[in-house]
């Protein structure tokens, strides 16, 4: 396995393990999002968490997006039952 791939897989494994170590859900999810960005060499990435109602997002976490970019793009996405299918 090439070193770059090995490093990426290691980062992903660390993120998965952090889910079990972290008591704070948002911190655990942030670790997963960060590792995913590293794994695919992404400039930015995001993760939407489906809410209890199954049709809206209860959280949307991003990595690599500045406050200015957030202001330019507007509010976070909102999932709906029809868009999820």
Does 18 score more than 50 pLDDT?
yes
Q: Where are the alpha helices (DSSP H) in 1-85?
A: 3-21, 25-39, 67-73, 81-84
Q: What is the three-class DSSP state of 18?
A: helix
pLDDT class of 22 with cuts at 50, 70, 90: low
- Report the domain count for the chain: 1
pLDDT in tens, 23-78: 688 888 888 888 888 888 899 998 998 989 988 888 888 899 998 988 898 877 77
How high is the pLDDT of residue 76?
A: 77
* Residue 11 lies in domain: 3-84
């Amino acid at each position: 396995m090439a070193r770059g791939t090995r490093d990426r897989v290691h980062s992903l494994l660390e993120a998965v393990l952090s889910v079990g170590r972290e008591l704070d859900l948002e911190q655990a999810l942030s670790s997963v999002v960060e590792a995913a960005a590293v794994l695919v060499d992404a400039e930015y990435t995001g993760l939407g968490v489906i809410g209890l109602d199954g049709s809206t997002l209860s959280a949307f976490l991003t990595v690599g997006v500045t406050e200015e970019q957030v202001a330019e793009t507007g509010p976070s996405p909102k999932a709906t039952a029809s868009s999820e299918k």
